[in-house]
Structure formats: C-alpha cells, structure tokens
Structure 1
Amino acid sequence: MKGSKPKAKAKSVLPGFGISMGFTIFYLCLIVIIPLSAVFIKTSGMTMVQFWETITNPRVLASYRISFLTAFAAALINVVFGLLVAWVLVRYNFPGKKLIDSLVDLPFALPTAVAGIALTAIYAPNGWIGSLLQPLGIKVAFTPLGITIALVFIGLPFVVRTVQPVLQDLEKDTEEAAVMLGAYRLRTFIKVILPELIPPLLTGFAMAFARGLGEFGSVVFISGNMPLKTEIAPLLIMTKLEQFDYMGATAIALVMLVIAFVMLLIINVLQWWSGRRAIAG
C-alpha cells in the first residue's frame, strides 16, 4: 500500500556475513593454511635434485603405495559394509539396537594405539583369529591385509554416520509405489534408493580414505613396519623426524598432501555432480 512503511528486516541470532566470513577465514588460516604452508616453506630449502631423490627413493615409493592402496581398499570396504550397517540400524527394530548403534562410534573414542594393540593380538599367528587362519595359509598381522583391516576398523563410523541421516529422511512412499508398479526389490533399490545415497556414500568414502592416509597409531603395531613391505608413509615421516631429517620428512609429507588433496578434490567434484544429477532426475 502507498505510504506503508517497509517491514523491518528480521535480525539473525548469528552475526552477519561479514563477521562470520572474517572469522571463518581467520580460523582456517590459523588452524589449516599456516601449518600446511610450513610444509611448503620447509621443503623449499631443498634443491630440485634433492627433492626428487628423496621422493623417488624405493623405500619412499613403497610406503606411498602401501598407504594409498590400503586406505583406498579400506574405504571401499567401508562403503559396502557401512551402508549395510546404516540400513539395518535405520530400517529394522531389534533387541540391542541402541547398543549396536553406540558401538559404531567406538573407534572414535578408542585410542588408536589401543586399537592397534588389540587387532595385533587378535590377528597375530598365535591370536584368536590368527591361529585359525594360519593353517589356511592366510597371514593377517604384519602384512598389508592387516593394515587394511585396521583402517576398516577406524573408518567404518565415517560411512555409517554419513549415510544414516539420509536413510532416515528417505520417504518410503516412493519405494512402496515402485513395488506396487511391479519393480523388484533390487530394481527399486538401484533406481529409487541408490541415487539418493550416492552423495553421502562418496562423502563417507572421502572421509574414511582421508583418515586412512593419516592413520598411525592403529597401523604401526599390526603392520610390522618392514621397509618396502609394510612400512606406511606416516611411519617413514616419523622415522625421518627422529633422524633429524626435517627436509626429508616434509618432502614426503608434501607429496602425500598434494596427492591426497587432488584425490579428495576429484571425489568432491563427483559428489557435487551426483547430487546435481539426483536433483535434476
């Protein structure tokens, strides 16, 4: 109406965009960017020849291969079983459900060194499970398989807690309509449910993969730390630091940082693309 006063803008409980953005940038610089930039600054003290010789050393390359392959394999396993665990916790009611739901978060609270010692005791040749696998010719402790199992244990909660809220928000009406139209359960899952779960599954995979790359405490015991065989990159970095080879340690860390950032960036782009595709569909 003419002459009416404009409505007063509702005040937000949180501070405005300028203050929030400034604090966000300050926090990220203080906690993330400045510490990471120290890796680049320290490595810049090396010549290109020294840097190349350090990162292409056979022992270093083997540690990269073990770290990335085991973290990738563990993240893939967690995607499958994390989805299964989340599905059971959301879609079914059974005695002890709250207890199992609480146990999922146990790797978050348990010190990683304790987890590593426990897994080593269980999967060692004289352990509860290791003694059963030994006659079958399957060796877990002090092998890449043992490292993968430790990373699966550590990374499972990331996938479960990422997928679980999405499953809870999914409406069952669409699934029931698909079944009434003659779609089988598998087809309903692939066509109706799975497209909604791909973004959170990619997020859970990225988080589990990133945690696996940097994991130290739970892996150092069960791996056996044999150079060229079961030595992970974080342990090699620690070894370099103990030898006061700070430039060598930062050079190895820099390569891991760059490769991990590129892989996580690719995963985030895939997550964004799948999310846009699901909305468009």
Structure 2
Amino acid sequence: MTTLLAKRRALFQFSGAVGPFGVSTAVLWLSVIVLLPLAALTYNAFGGGIGQFWDAVTAPVALASLKVTIWVSVIVAVINAVMGTLVAWVLVRDNFPGKAIVNALIDLPFALPTIVASIVLLSLYGPDSPVNIHLNATQPGLVVALAFVTLPFVVRSVQPVLIEADRDVEQAAASLGADNWVIFSKIVLPTLAPAILSGAGLAFARAIGEYGSIVLIGGNIPRVTQMTSQYIQQQIEIDRPANAAAVSVALLAIAFVTLLVLRVVAQRNLRKEQQAP
C-alpha cells in the first residue's frame, strides 16, 4: 500500500517540465499572438516587391519621421538612464515619508492609458500652459511625453541590482579613504551598468513605437515632430496600407535589433559572472 501511494505521488510530482502538450500549446499561442500577425505584416509590406518596399521606406517624409523617432528615442533613453538610476538609488538607499507611494507611482505609466498622459501634458505645457512653459508641437514635448511612459523600465531594472549589491565593498572603500564619487564610479556603477543598459534599451524600444502619449502634445508636424507611429497612421488614413506596412516592418526591425543586442549583452555578462572566481 505504501509503495502504491509513493508511485501515485511520483506521478503528480512537479518536475519543472511541461511536456510535449505544454510545448505545443505555448508554440501555438505564440504563433497566434505574435508570429502570424508579424507574418501578415511582412507579407503586406513586400506584396508589391522589394522595390515598392524600398520606395515606401525611403520616401522623404518616411525617412524624416524615422530620423525624428530615433533621435528623440535616443535622447529619452539617455535621460532615463541617468534619472531612472537616480530614482532607483533614492528608493533603495534613502528613507523618507511617502516612499511607498512614490514607489507605487513608478509603475503608473504601465497602468495608465498613454493618451491620458498626452492630455495631461498638453494641458500643462500646451498653448494655455498654467506654468508658462510651452512645449506643444516641439521635440522637447516629445521627449517629456516619452520620458514619462518609459521611466519605469530603467528604475525597475536597476532597483533589484541595488538591493542585492554587496555594500560591504563600498564600506571597505570608504574606510580606505575613497570619496563618494570614487566609490560610485569604481564600485557601484560597474555593477549597475548592465541593468542600466538593459533598462535604457527597453526604454528606447518602447519609445520608437509609442503613439498615445505623443498624439496630442507632439503636433504631428511632418519633418519636425511627426513620429513614425503617426506617419503609419497617416498612411492608413489616406489608403496606403502597403506603405504603412513597409514602414512598420522597418520600425519593427529596429526594435528587434535593439532587443537582440540587449539579449546578447545580457548573456555575455551572465557568462562572465559564472566564470568569475
């Protein structure tokens, strides 16, 4: 009887593997949600041949929107790399009243519809700005909007690393006479660098495809503040779906390369940590 019960328990014991059925279900779900839409998009983009695809992507207004998008997204990623790290540092290393509320507010851009952010920013920095700061239809306005929706990426990437960081090394350096800047630049920053890079890369990838937060504050001025997502919508509105699909594939390729580079860098850092004595 005991042996029979032991066998039954073994049958239901979790081994960590989901089996062929689980793998098939995961692949099917991934195909329906991700692979099939991407395949349809790529088919529409190249439906008229490579020549038509190239003409759509290299059209002057399309190129201008890509340049604006990449330029603004790079600025946002750099700003978030600095300010996100600072926010994470304050949340981990400092204690102050309302810290739990601030920590919860960091995730607000993930839950809030991004067009709400655009409405708020337009009312705050638009033509009738109560603080007399006018960013409507300007690239700084795009930067502010995108910085709002992408801030959590860097903060949430750096926070766990700071929590797990060994502070004994910092204290040892301080006891040997190292000042705060030397401790941060020589000890803390190298530890945080992979997390900062990962968060900034994710912020960049999110920014290049963002639409809701910049739809009102951005102004959608071609060659000035028109982001690629707005250009794609414009092409759909004027009944040029092939052009919209082509530019979408180009934007998708940029995001994919960004994420791939982050993945490769993360794997290299992991191997270095495993090889370290």
TM-score, structure 2 length as denominator? 0.88
Q: Which residue pairs with 2:61 in the alignment?
A: 59
- Work out whether residues 199 and 272 of structure 1, in 8 Å CA contact, stay in contact via their aligned partners in 2: no
Identity of aligned residues (%): 40
Amino acid at match of 2:30: L
Q: Give the corresponding residue for 1:136.
A: none
Does the CA-based 8 Å contact 2:209-2:251 persist in structure 1? Answer: no
Alpha-carbon separation, structure 1, partners of 2:136 and 2:270: 40
> Distance between the aligned counterparts of 1:44 and 1:104, measured in 2?
40
Aligned to 2:216, what secondary structure does the other structure show?
A: helix
Query: What's the offset of the Cα at 1:166?
Result: 1.5
Question: Greater shift after overlay, 87-96 or 234-243?
Answer: 234-243
Of the structure 1 ranges 180-189 and 112-121, higher mean CA displacement relative to structure 2 is found in 180-189
Quote the offset at 1:70 in angstroms: 1.0
| Corresponding letter in the other structure for 2:238 | Q
Tell me the alpha carbon deviations over residues 219-261 of structure 1, each in whole angstroms, 9 at most, x when there is no partner: 0101111111111111111111122211111011011111221
SS of 2:174's equivalent? helix
Cα displacement (A) at 1:278:
5.0
Other-structure match for 1:270 = 265
- The number of equivalent residue pairs is 267
In structure 2, the gaps of 5 or more residues are 1-9
Q: Which residue of 1 aligns with 2:26?
A: 24
Alignment of structure 1 residues 197-276 onto 2, 5 Å: 197-276=192-271
What one-letter code is carried by the residue in structure 1 that aligns with 2:216?
A: F
In angstroms, what is the RMSD of aligned CA positions? 2.1
Distance 2:148 2:53 in 1: 35
Please say which of residues 186-195 and 230-239 is displaced more in the overlay: 186-195
The answer (yes or no) to whether the contact 2:41–2:249 under 8 Å persists in 1 is: yes
SS of aligned partner of 1:33: helix
2:156 to 156, 161, 165: 161
- Mean Cα deviation higher: 156-165 or 146-155: 156-165
Between the aligned partners of 1:156 and 1:42, the Cα distance in structure 2 is 34
Structure 1 runs not aligned, ≥5 long: 1-7, 134-138
For the residues of structure 2 that align with 1:258 and 1:186, how far apart are their CA atoms? Answer: 39
Alignment TM-score, normalising by the size of structure 1: 0.87
